[in-house]
Each structure stands twice: as structure tokens, then as C-alpha cells.
Amino acid sequence: MPTNRMKPGFLALLLGLLGAPLLMHSLAVHPQEKSDKPSATQSKETSSGSSSGTSTQQSSGASSEKLSSRDEKMIKQIAESNIAEINAGKLAQDKASSDEVKSFAKKMVDDHTKALDDLKQLAQSKGITLPTEPSREQMAQEKKLQALSGEKFDRQYLQQAGDRAHKETHRLLQRAASRAEDTDLKNYASKTMGTVETHQQMAKETTRNLKSTAEGKSGSGKESSGGGGKGSSKGGSEGSSTSGAGESSGSTSGGASEPSSGASGNSK
């Protein structure tokens, strides 16, 4: 009988001894699992940081890429063309004799200054240092302009800066838009090309108006000279006619006096 009473107590003790390690293991495992799961705040911060990093990379990814050697050469040539147009435009604002040429020159300075500023931002994002002067050939052309004045300067400026220089700039931009490897450079070239085409049209119109004005002045001079010739001819004709009339009058007077004298002699 005592032995039977001890069996339930012994079993309870045995179960307690076996359950204690299981309980300790459970307490040890669950906090670790809990710590492995990020909190809502941590998850939000991680997501925000990742999103911010991706956004920053996307916004500056293309602009931070370095240009190839060919693209770098093109962007520097475009910068030189812009600088040459700005310098020539400033010179024309001082030396041009035509107000229309001065107005055209101001437009060139304003537009090419903006185009150069945009190009500087693009170059800075690519780690490129742009030139601060035109090419040697462009500087030589500028010196030729400086030696001229008056209408000769106006014609040469429109031909050189308005026509030839813009054709060269348009060719550079067209090449960059089609052949550049960098997307930002392509976009810049495509956008700026429209402005240069507008300048080419303006240069043609200004040249045509300047030519018409010069022809008008020349025509007025010819008409004035021709009018003087007609006046001289008319005056000469009138003078000859008057002189002839005088001679005729004299002859008539002489002829009349002679018969009168003869008549007087006969009467005596």
C-alpha cells in the first residue's frame, strides 16, 4: 500500500524534472526569434533609407557618369563655338552701324550665353573642364572683324558670325545629337539645335534687309544725279535758244538799219 501511494508523486516529480529543461529551452529560443524580427519602426527606416538611396542614385546616376573621349571633344568644341558667338556679338553691339545688326547681335549674346551656361552645368556633372576661349581659328576671325568698321563691319559680321559660324555650330550639334554616347549630351544638342536654326534664319533676314537698305540709298543717289543732268541740259537748251534769239534779233536789226540808211541817201 505505501508503495502504491508513492507512485503518483514520483511520476509528478519525474515530469517536473523533464519539463524544466524544455521550459528553459523555450525561453531561450523565443526571445532570439523575437529579436530577429525587425520592428515596424526599423522596417520603415530601412525602407525609407533604401528608397532615398535609390532615388538619389537615379537622379544623379546619368549626370555623374564620365564622358567618353569622343563626347568630351564634342562638348569642348560646342563650348568654343558658343564663346566665339558671344565675343563677336559683343563686338557688333559696339561697332555695328546698323541698329538692326546691333539688335541681332544682342540676341546672339543672350541666347549663346544661356546655351553656354547650360553646357557648363552638364560639363560639371561629368567632371569636365570647359575651355574659356574660342579656338585659334575663331580668334583669328574675330581679329579680322575688329579691323573693320561701318557698313563693311556689318556685312562681314553677318556673313561670318551669322552665317558661317552658325553653320559650323549646327554641324557640331547635329553630330552630338546623333553620335554622342552620353544621353545628357544628346538631349542638350537636340534642344540647342532649334535655337541655332532660328539664328540662321534671323541672319539671312537681317542680311537681306541690310542689302535692300543699301540699294535704296544707292538708287536715291542715282536719281538725284540724273535730275541734275536734266536740269543742266534744260538750262543749256534754254540758254542756246535765248542766245539764238538774240543773234536773230541782232541780224534783223542790222538788216533793217541798212535799208533805212540807203533810203536816206537817195532822198538827199
Domains of the chain: 65-212 (1.20.1260.10)
Q: pLDDT tens-digit profile of 41-62?
A: 454 444 444 444 444 434 334 4
Mean pLDDT of the chain: 76
Q: What percent of the chain has a predicted confidence (pLDDT) above 90? A: 53
Q: pLDDT tens-digit profile of 100-158?
A: 999 999 999 999 999 999 999 999 999 999 999 999 999 999 999 999 999 999 999 99
Could you tell me which residue, 180 or 245, shows the higher pLDDT?
A: 180
Q: Is the pLDDT of residue 197 over 70?
A: yes
Give residue 84's pLDDT.
97
DSSP 153-176: HHHHHIIIIIIIHHHHHHHHHHHH
Assign 213 a pLDDT band (cuts: 50, 70, 90): confident
- CA separation, residue 184 to residues 20, 58, 191, 221 (Å): 70, 14, 11, 56
Q: Is the pLDDT of residue 172 over 80?
A: yes
H/E element, 120: helix 99-126
Give residue 250's pLDDT.
41
Give residue 104's pLDDT.
97
What does the alpha-carbon distance between residue 111 and residue 130 come to, in Å, rounded to a whole number? 18
Give residue 230's pLDDT.
46
The residue count of the chain comes to 268
